Structure 1
Amino acid sequence: MISSPEAHGIGGQADLPISLELAVSGAVAALVVSFTVLIVAWRRPRYDDTGRIGKPGRAALPVLDQITSSSYFRVGLRVLGLLIAAFTVACAVGGQNTLTNPFFGIVYVWWWVGLVIASALLGPVWRAISPVRTINAGIAKLAGSDPDVGLFTYPERLGNWPAALGLYAFVWMELAYRYPTELGSVRLWCALYVGAMLVGGAVFGNRFYERADPFEVYSSLIAKLSPWARVDGRLVLRSPLANLSTIEPRPGMVAVVAVLFGSTAFDSFRESSFWVKTYQDASVSKVLLDNLALLGFCLTAGVLFAIACALTSSKGEVGRRDLPCHYAHSIVPIIFAYILAHYLTLFIDVGTQTLARASDPFGKGWDILGTASIEPSYWFSYHPSVLASIKVAAVVIGHVVAAIAAHDRALTLLPKREQVTGQLPLLFVMVGFTAGGLFLLFSA
C-alpha cells in the first residue's frame, strides 16, 4: 500500500479493552445465539429474490425522488465522474513519480475504499459516475447506435467471472506486485482497465458493465447494504436485507466475494509478525510468497464457502452446484465489515492527505483547491481502544447480518425437515470466518 502500516494498523490486540480471546469468544457466541434466535423466531422467508415478500419499502421524500430521477441529476453525476477522471489522468501523466503524487491516493484510497463507503451510504455510486460508461455512451451517440446494445449479446455463462478476474488483478497489484507504488505500473493498470472496459462496452453494450466491470460489480454489491432502492420507478427507503436479497445468483459471483474477502484477510495477514518472520527466514523472495499467499487466501475463502453451501440441500429447484451462487449475497455484509475494520484509518488519514496533495498535483507548490494546508488529525492514533472496539463491532455486526441473510435464503431453498440441520455447514464456516478474521485483524 501507499502508506505505512501505522496508517491502518493501529488498534491492535494490545489496544482491545478486553483480551483477544474474549473478543473472539464473544463474537462467535453472538453469531451462534443469533442463529438460534433466527431458528426460533424467523420461520418463514421474508424476502424473495426481488426483496418483496414483505413490504417494498417506505417512499422517500418526494423532493428526493424528483431530484434523483431527473435527467439533470444524472447528467451532473456523469460530468462529475468525467472531471474526477480527467484530474486523475492529469496527475498520472504530469505528476511526479513519488508518493506525494495524489494519483496513488485517488486510486488506492478514494477509488478502492472510498467507493465502498459511498456505495454503502448512497447506492451504486460507480454506475452513476463511471467515466467509462459515459465515454461509451458518447461514442455510441456519435456513431448513432444504442449504448445499451452492443455488437453481440453478453454470454450469460460468463456472469461475473470477468469482474472477479479484474478485482483479483487490482488486489494483486496492490498487495503482491513488486512495484505497487511505481507511477508507471499503476498508470499502466488503469490504462488497461479503461481500454478493456471501452472495448467490452462497444462489443456487448451496457450489460458488460453490469456484469464485467470490476468496480461497478463491487460498488453495486456493496450498494445493496444501503437503505435506498428504486421500486417500480420510485425511490424508497427499505431494509438492507431486502436489498441484499435482490442480488442475482450469477456464475462467478462466488469468485467475486472470495476475492474481496480473501484479499482483505491477506492484507491483515501480511502485516502479522508471523508472516514477517516467515519471509525474512525464507529462501525464496517475498514477492513469490505474497503471490502464493494471496491466491491461497482467495481460493480458501471461496472453496470453504462453496463446500459449506453445497453440503446443504434444496427442494430440487436448485442443484447443489448452483447453491453457492444463491447464498453468495450473504457474504457481502462480511466483506463490508472487514473493509471498514481494516481500512477505516487508511481512508480517514491517507484520504485526507490525498485531498491536501490534490491541490498541488504536479508538485509545483500550488494550492488550486485550497486544501493544501489540511492535515490528518490521527484521532484514532490517540484513541486506539476506540478503534479496536469499532473493529470488533463491525465484524460481529457484519457476520450477524450475513447469518440473517443466509437464513432467510435457506428457508426458501431447504426442505422443511432440513431447515435447521441444513444450515449448520454454512454456520460453521461463518464461525470460522469470524474467529479467523478477528485474529488476523488484531495480529497485525
Structure 2
Amino acid sequence: MRSRPRTRTVVLLVSLVGAVALSGTALAHGGSLRSSPARSLSIPLWLFLATGGGVVGASFLLASFVTDRAFIRSVEEYRRSVSLSETVVRGLVVVGRAVGVLGLVAVVGVGLFGPREPLANLAVLVVWVAWWAGFTMTTYTLGNTWPVLNPWRTIASVLPSLDRPYPERVGAWPAVAGLLGLIWLEVVSPLADAPRLLAGVVVAYTVVTLAGAVYLGTDRYFERVDPVSRVFRYYGAVAPLYRDDDGRLRFRIPGTGLESETLVDSRSEVAFVVALLWVTSYDGLVATPPWGDVLRPLVGLGAPAALLYPLALVAGFALFLVLFRVAVRRGRESAESYLDVDLLARRFAPSLLAIAAGYHLAHYLGYFVELLPTLLGVLTAPLSPPAPRAIVLPVWFDGFELAFVLLGHLVAIWVAHAVAYDLFPSRMQAIRSQYALTAVMVFYTMTSLWIVSRPYAAPPFV
C-alpha cells in the first residue's frame, strides 16, 4: 500500500452514517452485539440454493456469449477525474489522521474505564459497529481511506525506524497468519461483550504493530505485514474511487480495479485473498445452528472445543485454497494453454475479493443499521450513555442481504471474464478457462447463501 495520503477520508463514513439514521426503534439486544433476525424461507432450501447458483452460472453464459473484447475494454478503461483542491485535500488528511488517533485513544480509555455493559461502552461500539462494520463497508463501496485514518501508521510515522530489510521469501504469509489469528480471536473470545478485554487486545495489537513498524519501517510494515491494512487495500480495489500513479483522484466502474495485473503478485498474496474470502464465511458459519449441531457431539466424545474452532478455521481455509488452485489448473487445461498456473492464479484471485465484499455487506449492513442509534447515543455521552436503542428492520430487509451475496458473485464472474479475455488470445480459450472457476464460484455462492439464510445462534463452548 502506498504511503501517499489518500483524499478519500472519514467524511465518507460520516455521510454514510447520516444517510441511514432512520426511525422506528426498539430496545437493542443485550449481551452480545451479534444480531441477525431468524429467517424462514418461503421456498425449499434446495430450490433457494439452486436458484442462487443458477443465477451465477447464467451470468457466466451471458457474459461469455454476449460481450466482446471491445465492450470489455470500454468498461475496463472507463475513468473520470474527481477534482479536489490541494487545500481541501490537505485539510481532509489532517482531519482524518486526527480522527484516527483520537479514536484509538478513546477506544483504549473508555474500554478500560468506561461502562462495563457492551452496548453502553464506546470502545465496543466503535470497534465493531463503526469500524469493522460501517467503515469497512465504505472501503469497497466508496474508496479506501484507511491509509489516512490508520492511527498506528500515523503514530509510527513520527517514531524512529531501524529500517531492516524484509525477507522476500516470506511474502504475505505473516499477513495470512495474522488475519486468521484475528478472526479466531474474534470468534472464540468475548471481545464484543467485554470492553476491558477488548481494550487489552487493542493495546497488545498497538504494541506489536508499532514494534514491527519501527523494526521494518512504516511503509514496509504496513504494505507487507499488517493484515488489517492489506484487507482494506484489497477491498479498496473493488471501490469506484482510487488514486492513480500520479496521485490524482479518479472514478472507475466498481470492480474494474480487480483486473489489475499487479494487485496480487505472489502465491502468498493469492492465499491472503482466499483467506479473506474464507474468514467472512467462517465468521457467519460458526454462528449458525448446524455448527452447534456438529460441534456438540464431537465435544461429547471428548474432542476439545478450544481445538475444534481453530482446526475448522485452518481446514476451511485450506479447502477454499485447494478448490481455487484446482479450478485454475483445470481451467488452464481446458483452455489448452501453456501459461503458468501461478500467473493464472494471481490474475484470477482478485475476482474473489468481490465475493468477499458482497458477503461482508450482506453480513454486516443490517447489523450496522440496527445498532446505529445506540452508537450515535454513546458518541454524544461516552461516560454516561443513554439507554441502548436499535432500529427494527423490516422482514423484507433480508432480501437485500441475499441480493448483496449474489451481486458480489456476479461482479466476480465479470472480473474473471475480463481477465480471461486479457490473458488468452482466443475467445473460446478465454471461455473454456473459466468453466472450473465458475463451478467453484457457484459452490462459494451456495455456501454463502446457505449461511446467510440460517438464523443466528451463539457459537457454543466459547
CA distance in 1, matches of 2:31, 2:107: 23
Residues paired across the two proteins, number: 416
Partner of 1:250: 265
Following superposition of structure 1 onto structure 2, how do residues 28-427 of structure 1 map, counting pairs within 5 Å? 28-44=53-69, 54-60=76-82, 62=83, 65-66=84-85, 70-99=89-118, 100-140=120-160, 151-177=163-189, 181-202=193-214, 203-231=216-244, 232-246=246-260, 248-251=263-266, 252-281=268-297, 282-283=299-300, 284-313=303-332, 319-362=340-383, 366=384, 372=386, 375-378=389-392, 380=393, 383-384=394-395, 386-414=396-424, 416=426, 418-427=429-438
Q: 1:54 to 1:388 in 2, by over 3 A?
A: closer
How far did 1:276 drift? 1.9
Q: 1:110 to 1:166 in 2, by over 3 A?
A: farther
How far did 1:432 drift? 0.6
How far did 1:46 drift? 7.0
Question: Does the CA contact (< 8 Å) of 1:279 and 1:285 recur in 2?
Answer: no
Letter in 2 for 1:249: V
| Deviations 1:40-97, CA, capped at 9 Å, x for gaps | 233438779xxx995351222x3xx226873222122111111111111211332344
Q: 1:4 to 1:413 in 2, by over 3 A?
A: farther
Among 430, 434, 451, which residue is 1:440 paired with? 451
How far did 1:124 drift? 1.2
Task: Give the root-mean-square deviation of aligned CA atoms.
Answer: 2.9
Q: 1:351 to 1:439 in 2, by over 3 A?
A: same
Letter in 2 for 1:139: L
Letter in 1 for 2:228: F
Question: Does the CA contact (< 8 Å) of 2:370 and 2:390 recur in 1?
Answer: yes
Question: Does the CA contact (< 8 Å) of 2:420 and 2:431 recur in 1?
Answer: no
Q: Deviating runs (4+, > 6 A) in structure 1?
A: 2-6, 45-48, 314-317
2:24 maps to 1:24: no
| Deviations 1:380-431, CA, capped at 9 Å, x for gaps | 2xx22x1221122111111010011011112223452532222111011001
Q: Secondary structure at the match of 2:433?
A: helix
Bigger drift between 307-316 and 339-348 goes to: 307-316
Q: 1:179 to 1:110 in 2, by over 3 A?
A: closer
Question: Does the CA contact (< 8 Å) of 2:64 and 2:431 recur in 1?
Answer: yes
CA distance in 1, matches of 2:143, 2:101: 19
How far did 1:225 drift? 2.1
Q: Secondary structure at the match of 1:419?
A: helix
CA distance in 2, matches of 1:193, 1:47: 43
Question: Does the CA contact (< 8 Å) of 1:265 and 1:297 recur in 2?
Answer: no
Question: Does the CA contact (< 8 Å) of 1:159 and 1:250 recur in 2?
Answer: no
Q: Secondary structure at the match of 1:376?
A: strand
How far did 1:183 drift? 4.2
Bigger drift between 226-235 and 392-401 goes to: 226-235
Question: Does the CA contact (< 8 Å) of 2:56 and 2:410 recur in 1?
Answer: yes
Letter in 2 for 1:269: L
How far did 1:3 drift? 6.8
Q: 1:286 to 1:189 in 2, by over 3 A?
A: same
Gaps of 5+ in 1: none
Letter in 1 for 2:81: A
Bigger drift between 32-41 and 183-192 goes to: 183-192
Question: Does the CA contact (< 8 Å) of 1:154 and 1:204 recur in 2?
Answer: no
CA distance in 2, matches of 1:30, 1:315: 27
Q: 1:275 to 1:3 in 2, by over 3 A?
A: farther
How far did 1:377 drift? 1.7
Partner of 2:458: none
Question: Does the CA contact (< 8 Å) of 1:262 and 1:301 recur in 2?
Answer: yes
Question: Does the CA contact (< 8 Å) of 2:33 and 2:192 recur in 1?
Answer: no
Question: Does the CA contact (< 8 Å) of 1:178 and 1:287 recur in 2?
Answer: no
CA distance in 1, matches of 2:75, 2:88: 25
Q: Secondary structure at the match of 1:237?
A: strand
Question: Does the CA contact (< 8 Å) of 1:228 and 1:235 recur in 2?
Answer: yes
CA distance in 2, matches of 1:3, 1:343: 18
CA distance in 2, matches of 1:164, 1:340: 22
Q: 1:180 to 1:301 in 2, by over 3 A?
A: farther
Q: 1:373 to 1:183 in 2, by over 3 A?
A: closer
2:440 maps to 1:429: yes
Letter in 2 for 1:349: E
How far did 1:261 drift? 2.2
Q: 1:310 to 1:186 in 2, by over 3 A?
A: farther
How far did 1:192 drift? 2.8
Identity, in percent, stands at: 25
Q: 1:121 to 1:275 in 2, by over 3 A?
A: closer
Q: Secondary structure at the match of 2:108?
A: helix
Q: 1:6 to 1:92 in 2, by over 3 A?
A: closer
How far did 1:5 drift? 7.6
Q: Secondary structure at the match of 1:356?
A: helix
Q: 1:91 to 1:4 in 2, by over 3 A?
A: closer
Question: Does the CA contact (< 8 Å) of 1:310 and 1:321 recur in 2?
Answer: no
Letter in 1 for 2:259: S
Q: TM-score, normalised by structure 1?
A: 0.84
